[in-house]
Structure 1
Amino acid sequence: MTPEIEDAFAAIRSEHGADSISRVERMLEPGGGGPRHPLQKGAKWILPGLSPTPWHDPYAYPELAPVVEALESAHPAVKEELNSAWAARREAFSDYEHYLTRQEDWQALYLYRRGNLVEESADTVPTAYKVLKEFAVDTETICPLLESHFSTLLPGASIAPHCDLWNFSINLHLAVDIPDGCSITVAGRIRSWQEGRCLLFDYSFEHEARNEGSQPRTCLLVDLWHPETTLPERRALVSLVTEIRRLMGE
């Protein structure tokens, strides 16, 4: 660890207790904090002690349920504003750049990125922006290391099987506009989105998606803290990843 990370960790231990970030420290040890599920082998970091569950009930966690309820309630307005933006402000969308690849047939409209709300989206998709700000950003349930965006898969597009970087955040999908022929697979289990409802899954497990329909498929994706992480762990993880990204010139 760098001196900056060591200092940040020491400050957290001083405030919250000697064992408050022990799981984060174990994660950084050789072996990555212990055994992991075979379908998490592609993830960079696995924080030990989190439930190794690919699919989660979106309403199971008191911290996350208000986000889910607000997004689902707002779905009609969110869909209308998204479709208007897709028709009239296509320049607001861009090719999605995953840490593994970039895809022209996977379009993104960002609401939150690099630790901040994307203010331009407040005019483009005001309902989604307002709900995200009030229920995820202001409550600090969103993971500031990641993002929130409308994810549009064009007809015939697919996302190849992959694991994301870690398990200490979790991915929420609001199914905004779902034509026939669309599905997602997480840890070998295939599911379809139900328009107006949310799915929640641990994307450190291998997952993939496809649009075999004739119309674009759009979900609103929100990267939230895994509900089994603690406040001191979240602080330590932000310090850790932020410093690593700084050293890598990101």
Structure 2
Amino acid sequence: VKDYLSEDGRQPGMSSNLFCNRARFTRAWVGCFNVKVWEKAGGCLAPFSSLCSRQNDRKAEGRRHASSSSLTASKHLRCHPQRSFETSGASRSFSIQDAEHAMKINDLEACVKILSELSSQHQFAMDPHAQSMLCTSLIWLNRKEMAEKTIADAVSRGVWKHAMQRPLRFFPELDSAPFPDPSKFPEVQEGLHVMRSLGEQLLEEMQTDVFLCKGHTEAAEGLQDPGGGKWTYTKVNTTGFFDANFPSVRRFLLGLQKQTKLRIVAAGVSTIHPGCNIRPHCGPSNRCWDMHFGISVPEPSSCFLNVAGEARGWREGDVLLFDDSYEHSVVHRGKLPRTILDIIIVHPTLHDRSFSLSEI
């Protein structure tokens, strides 16, 4: 909820230490107390790393003046009661969502600081979500020894079973491999056959649709190396933008749904441009697998996917199946864009089980 202060800078019922002239503020309820977060109009947003530093300063100050201390942060700080925490003295709260935002804007130092502090509490030390982001941030910061130790400690605590498989949500009863063997799963084997058959019919049309589409959007996950090549990811579905821009992709997916038992969770057209490197990371859940259908791969030997230390490339009209809950990355060393259709399916051992997508 956003409110704007009146011209004289004051609002009824607002204490004197929680207003500033011509400022704007938002309110977020955290636990049982109200945190006011404000920013001076026209001012610059402070980076998360500086916010963390300010938080430590306020912690000491709060021991002496707890009644007058408050939390200062940028307007992008989002607090959620279910994952927030308090400390004695100054009112202070960081959450998993704050770490996610810091990671998304590439403020990795702040992300590590927030998650390290959260991990001092048992519920976060055993939380795959928090531990996965912490390990990934350390890897991106090239702190190899610290990352390896953090991963090993998490595995020893039972957060995950495998050092290279670190999803945000982990279900240990599901067996898998970085590149699963489709012959062990008849419905997956059938799906691969159908995809290749549909590709023979629609590949040229899909290439044309992708080339002509002007609505590709920059991938918003923040996984690519800053300053590198562009990565676009356009989510597709059976209505609206999908129909208008990717009719061939629509027919491809509908054909796959009709002719197989695969449960498709989501799909998107993914294009990485020369110089783009997608940094090592793990997918959100081991309840899903990824199927990549090659639409346009002009330089197969210059662009490849690395999953748990094993590198494989894409080929036009062919399918690459992998479990993205394992650590994976992408390197593009060529001179031309590479485009694939990314299809996320439910783990084949769960295809008869009824659950909502939010449970995946």
How does the TM-score come out when normalised to structure 1?
0.69
Aligned residue identity for 2:178? P
Q: Percent identity?
A: 26
Once residues 358 and 274 of structure 2 are traced to their aligned partners in structure 1, the CA distance between those partners, rounded to angstroms, is 40
Q: Does 1:64 align with 2:183?
A: no
Q: Which residue of 2 aligns with 1:205?
A: 326
Give 1:47 deviation, angstroms.
1.1
In the TM superposition, what whole-angstrom CA distance separates every residue of 1:57-97 from its partner, at most 9, and x where no partner exists?
A: 34542222333222212224543233323433222x11122
Once residues 188 and 107 of structure 1 are traced to their aligned partners in structure 2, the CA distance between those partners, rounded to angstroms, is 25
- Structure 1 counterpart SS, 2:230: strand
Q: Does 1:75 align with 2:196?
A: no
Once residues 239 and 225 of structure 2 are traced to their aligned partners in structure 1, the CA distance between those partners, rounded to angstroms, is 20
Q: Which residue of 2 aligns with 1:55?
A: 179
Give the conservation status (yes or no) of the 8 Å contact 1:71–1:128: no
Give 1:205 deviation, angstroms.
0.3
Q: Which residue of 2 aligns with 1:95?
A: 218
Q: Which residue of 1 aligns with 2:108?
A: none
In the TM superposition, what whole-angstrom CA distance separates every residue of 1:200-247 from its partner, at most 9, and x where no partner exists?
A: 111000000122111110111100001122533x41x53546xxxxxx
- Structure 1 counterpart SS, 2:255: helix
Once residues 321 and 171 of structure 2 are traced to their aligned partners in structure 1, the CA distance between those partners, rounded to angstroms, is 18
Q: Does 1:156 align with 2:279?
A: no
**Cα 1:230–1:67, aligned 2, differ >3 Å: closer, same or farther?**
closer
- Structure 2 counterpart SS, 1:128: helix
- Structure 2 counterpart SS, 1:228: helix
- Structure 2 counterpart SS, 1:38: coil
Q: Does 1:134 align with 2:258?
A: no
Aligned-residue Cα RMSD (Å) equals 2.8
Once residues 201 and 118 of structure 1 are traced to their aligned partners in structure 2, the CA distance between those partners, rounded to angstroms, is 28
Give 1:160 deviation, angstroms.
0.7
Give the conservation status (yes or no) of the 8 Å contact 1:184–1:192: yes
Higher relative contact order (CA 8 A, sep 6+): 1
Aligned residue identity for 1:152? T
- Structure 2 counterpart SS, 1:231: coil
Once residues 193 and 98 of structure 1 are traced to their aligned partners in structure 2, the CA distance between those partners, rounded to angstroms, is 22
Which aligned pairs between 1:1-250 and structure 2 lie closer than 5 A? 35-41=160-166, 43-58=167-182, 60-91=184-215, 93-98=216-221, 105-112=230-237, 117-136=238-257, 141-144=262-265, 147-180=266-299, 181-229=302-350, 231-232=352-353, 234-235=354-355, 238=357, 240=359
Give the conservation status (yes or no) of the 8 Å contact 1:36–1:46: no
Aligned residue identity for 1:159? I
**Cα 1:202–1:210, aligned 2, differ >3 Å: closer, same or farther?**
same
How does the TM-score come out when normalised to structure 2?
0.50
Once residues 74 and 231 of structure 1 are traced to their aligned partners in structure 2, the CA distance between those partners, rounded to angstroms, is 25
The structure carrying a bigger strand percent of its residues is 1
- Structure 2 counterpart SS, 1:219: strand
Give the conservation status (yes or no) of the 8 Å contact 1:37–1:52: no
When the two structures are aligned, how many residues end up with a matched partner?
Answer: 202
**Cα 1:49–1:72, aligned 2, differ >3 Å: closer, same or farther?**
same
- Structure 1 counterpart SS, 2:345: strand
Q: Which runs of no fewer than 5 residues in structure 2 stay unpaired?
A: 1-125, 129-157
In the TM superposition, what whole-angstrom CA distance separates every residue of 1:138-188 from its partner, at most 9, and x where no partner exists?
A: 9673343xx201111111111111001110000001112112201110000
Q: Which residue of 1 aligns with 2:83?
A: none
Aligned residue identity for 1:203? D
Q: Which runs of no fewer than 5 residues in structure 1 stay unpaired?
A: 1-29, 242-250
**Cα 1:173–1:87, aligned 2, differ >3 Å: closer, same or farther?**
closer
